[in-house]
Amino acid sequence: MSDNGKGLSEVLSKHEADLQADWIKEQTAGSARRTGAIKEVELRDQCKEFLGLVIEALQGGGDLDVRGPRWNPVRDLLANLSRSRGLQGFTPSETASFVFSLKKPLFARIRRDLSKDGEAMAEATLAATVLLDGLGLYTTEVHQKAREEIIARQQQEMLELSTPVVTLWEGILALPMIGTLDSARTQVVMESLLQKIVDTASSIAIIDITGVPTVDTLTAQHLLKTVTAARLMGAECIISGIRPQIAQTIVHLGVDLGDVTTKASLADALAVALERTGRAVRRVRAGS
């Protein structure tokens, strides 16, 4: 199978310019509707570069293993293309159609050039199929991977976004926790709280768990660790937002929050914090 790509290579080289034109037409018509989003010029450059690189890769032997080193430049081009199309919201099949839409014009040339030699035609067609299928699948893979990277990054961003430490008053911090206290998030939360305690020289930190749906032994353990670490930094913690059903459940579960002050609401916790720091809130006139 060593000269598998030879016939194909010849057809490609001979008709490079025509193929490019037909291929672009193929992509801007019907099937690949989304190409409207890509500038014609850009598409022409991509097609031209792709054909050039494929011809180069096929030269000096018909190595059709698109995973091999010979195909590195072609794969790099496709990887860039997949990524940028992925970011523009193309589906994997829309992205892969860049490669697959070359089949029709290419098969037409192969048929025309090699019709007199059945065997050569079959071989070149097979080579073209193997090659384009391999490269098409590769774009899908990259596309998929790029999407996964985006999702992973968004998750990471959410981890950070969802744990804001706010200063309620001079020396009083609040950490409104929302969602599941799994290990990865708790780590982030704990670090940002401790950092803020140091930065602001705060003496009280209120951890509000109104937005935490379930408090089980693992959650409790995470909370207690945070409280202990905060203490080592010189701050006392108050846990607020323990809803009645959670309070009951914790008691039955047998979890002991130790000597940590707990309050039903963030407002109650703030009142305690103000008092402990020698302040009081006073009504200055009758309100509604």
Ligand X SMILES: Nc1ncnc2c1ncn2[C@@H]1O[C@H](COP(=O)(O)OP(=O)(O)OP(=O)(O)O)[C@@H](O)[C@H]1O
Query: Could you list the residues that contact ligand X (CB under 6 A)?
Result: 217-218
User: Which of ligand X, another protein, none lies near 36, with the C-beta cut-off 5 to 8 A by kind?
Assistant: none
**Is 124 or 177 the residue whose CB approaches another protein more closely?**
177
The residue among 28, 9, 146, 150 whose CA lies nearest residue 98 is 28
**Is 36 or 258 the residue whose CB approaches another protein more closely?**
258
Paired residues of 173 in beta bridges: 167, 205
Q: Residues 84, 156: contact at Cβ < 8 Å?
A: no
In sign, the C-alpha dihedral spanning 54, 56, 61, 63 is negative
Instruction: For residue 159, give both structure tokens.
Output: 């981890």
CB of 253 to ligand X, least distance (A): 9
Q: Considering the rule CB under 8 A, would residue 248 count as an interface residue with another protein?
A: yes
Residue 92, CA distances (Å) to 77, 137, 191 in order = 16, 9, 39
From residue 76 to residue 115, the character string flagging contacts with another protein as x (rule: CB under 8 A) and all else as - is ----------------------------------------
Give all strands (DSSP E) within the chain, no chain letters.
166-169, 172-178, 204-211, 236-240, 261-263
In sign, the C-alpha dihedral spanning 23, 28, 34, 35 is positive
Q: Considering the rule CB under 8 A, would residue 180 count as an interface residue with another protein?
A: yes
The residue among 142, 151, 206, 195 whose CA lies nearest residue 173 is 206
Q: Residues 139, 81: contact at Cβ < 8 Å?
A: yes
Q: Considering the rule CB under 8 A, would residue 213 count as an interface residue with another protein?
A: yes
**Is 192 or 221 the residue whose CB approaches another protein more closely?**
221
Q: Which segment (69-77, 109-117, 239-247, 278-286) binds another protein by CB under 8 A?
A: 239-247
Q: Residues 250, 212: contact at Cβ < 8 Å?
A: no
Among 154, 214, 228, 234, binds another protein (CB under 8 A): 214
CB of 212 to ligand X, least distance (A): 16
Q: Considering the rule CB under 8 A, would residue 245 count as an interface residue with another protein?
A: yes
Among 41, 119, 183, 283, binds another protein (CB under 8 A): 183
Q: Considering the rule CB under 8 A, would residue 259 count as an interface residue with another protein?
A: no
Residue 282, sorted as left (phi over 0), alpha (psi -120 to 50) or beta, turns out to be beta
CB of 223 to ligand X, least distance (A): 13
CB of 217 to another protein, least distance (A): 5
**Is 47 or 215 the residue whose CB approaches another protein more closely?**
215
Q: Which segment (120-128, 215-223, 228-236, 272-280) binds another protein by CB under 8 A?
A: 215-223
Helix residue ranges per DSSP H, 162-279: 183-200, 217-232, 244-253, 266-276
Give residues in contact with another protein (CB under 8 A): 180, 182-183, 213-218, 220-221, 244-246, 248-249, 252-255
